[in-house]
Structure 1
Amino acid sequence: MSAHVLDNPIWQSLLSRHLQLAQRHEPAARYPAQVAPFLGVAADGADSDALGAAFAALIPADDTALLLGVPPPAAPGWELRHLANLAQMLCAAPVAGEADPDGIVELGPEHHGDILALTALVYPHYFRPRTPELGRYFGLYCDGRLAAMAGERMGTHDYTELSAICTHPDFVGRGYARRLLVFLANDNHARDRVPFLHVSRDNPRAIDLYERNGFELRRDIPFWALRRSA
């Protein structure tokens, strides 16, 4: 049985939707470090020497790359560490009911400082200064402050990963994250793209939100960190 494109989402994204951003050294590719910390590897059995050369070309000495899916073969001089199994969830159909678009704004360069401040507070590990180049980001402002946001990250021409779905602690409990989630999921369906996302198994509150709004578990997918051996 052939593998699904979402079984190797970083690699597939860098081959398609984000081809123009890819830093590539066969059989691997990565996003620029200021965009995202993610690296993908071809799933067709590259040998360890080729992988070691690719990693050396793509990962600076003081950097750690993050991978999703099937791990690459061992490469001399490199340490691959399993971080967790994430829930990969997919929304196969538009969410029932109209999403309330009132107050939802598309976040542009003029909002960049607000985006970085919010993600540094509640989503600090994966959002970089150039992450907004990956897709569209939307937010809700309250009293002049960015109260919640959601955006698009990886994907192919048929699938879009929703990411950075987060709410400032001062505004939790007002339904902002749900409004943004439903708005963005349904907007992608209207564009003939199926939304999906990744969420930690240690975040049951988020999983419950996604399950109540049309997302179902597609699979558990392993999450890895790769860096030079000490």
Structure 2
Amino acid sequence: MKHVLDRPIWSALATRHQAFAQGDNLAKRYRPSIVSFAATAADDPESLQALGRLIPPYESAILVQADAIALPARFSVISTAALVQMIAEPPLQIVSDERVQRMTRDDAAEMLALASITKPGPFTLEALNLGDFWGVRIGGRLVAMAGERMKQPGYTELSGVCSHPEFRGGGLGRLLSLFVASQIMARGEIPYLHAYASNAAAIGLYESIRFRLRSTMNMAVVQRDG
């Protein structure tokens, strides 16, 4: 039996994030201004054809799923990566730090600037539509943040964890990861996240705060050729 997180993009767009979805019951994507994620309900020819109709010519999309990624006709692969998907196990350490502040739309430009430097993954000015974000300022400057992205029934993804290079090593990534995960768990949901399988440092950090491997995942950035 398939797990709801085996196709996390599809599961989010078909349920808790359906307000941000474009597509039909075979293929969906987030509105491109939010994030360039897309998914099919299955890998059958009809679903792949629907994805081909959904993505305009010469536009790219990001696919993430546990199964090997199948592509529609006239699509090419720009890049691929192996990911790990990890879920949190209770009890999580409860953290409290007065430096942690909820981000608002007034902070969006600073958040985008930080994400542009640190590259935690796809991030846009509309990312705040998907869930809450928190950050830490030092000297009035946003130097670290983390927040929520995809949401499925009973699950919320921890995402966007990043610290400015000048402030790495100070425990801010750990602090914000724990803070966001505990906020999610306090709502009765299970926090989960994705990391590059090659990023041993990040995986070690998440393991230290009681995240465990749920599944390996496949990611591909693809483009419709015409």
* TM bracket, shorter-chain basis: over 0.9
Same amino acid, percent of matched pairs: 35
Mean CA deviation greater in 179-188 or 116-125:
116-125
Alpha-carbon displacement from aligned partner over 1:1-38 (angstroms, at most 9, x marks no partner): x1000001000000111110100134100001110010
Distance in 2 between residues matched to 1:80 and 1:26, nearest whole Å: 24
**Displacement after TM superposition at 1:100 (Å):** 2.2
1:87 equivalent in alignment to 2:84: yes
1:17 maps onto 2:29 in alignment:
no
Structure 2 counterpart of 1:6: 5
Post-superposition shift, 1:53?
4.3
Match of 1:40 in 2: 39
1:13 is matched by which residue type in structure 2?
A: A
**Does structure 1 conserve the Cα–Cα contact (< 8 Å) formed by 2:22 and 2:28?**
yes
Q: Partner of 2:81: helix, strand, or coil? A: strand
Alignment deviations for residues 31-56 of structure 1 (CA, whole Å, 9 cap, x no partner): 0111001001102x5325x5334423
**Distance across 2 between alignment mates of 1:64 and 1:115:** 23
Write the letter of the residue equivalent to 1:108.
T
Give the CA deviation at 1:81. 6.2
Query: Cα gap change, 1:53/1:185 in structure 2, threshold over 3 Å: closer, same or farther?
Result: closer
How far has the Cα of 1:84 moved from its partner?
1.5
CA distance in 2, matches of 1:81, 1:7: 22
Q: Is the 8 A contact 1:83 1:225 kept in 2?
A: yes
Task: Structure 2: state its 5+ residue gaps.
Answer: none
Q: CA deviation at 1:139?
A: 0.2
Judge conservation of contact 1:94–1:189 (CA < 8 Å) in 2.
no
Give the TM-score, by structure 1 length.
0.91
1:201 counterpart residue number: 197
5+ unaligned residues in a row in structure 1: which ranges? none
3-state SS in 2 of match to 1:6:
coil
Amino acid at match of 1:121: I
Q: For 1:155-180, what per-residue CA distance to the aligned partner results, in whole angstroms no more than 9, with x for missing partners?
A: 21300000010000111111111111
TM-score by length of 2: 0.93
Q: 1-side partners of 2:120 and 2:169: how far apart? A: 21
Which residue in 2 is equivalent to 1:78?
A: 75
Inter-partner Cα distance in structure 2 for 1:109 and 1:52: 37
Q: Name the counterpart of 1:107.
A: 103
How far apart are residue 71 of structure 1 and its match? 4.6
Would you say the 8 A contact 2:83–2:219 is kept in 1?
A: yes
SS state at 2:5 partner: helix
Can you list the C-alpha shifts for 1:131-189, whole angstroms capped at 9, x where unaligned? 22110000000011101000100121300000010000111111111111111111111
1:168 partnered with 2:142: no
CA distance in 2, matches of 1:104, 1:124: 19
Between the aligned partners of 2:50 and 2:207, the Cα distance in structure 1 is: 42
Report how far residue 59 of structure 1 moved. 1.5
Once the two structures are TM-superposed, the CA of residue 78 in structure 1 deviates from its matched residue by 2.0
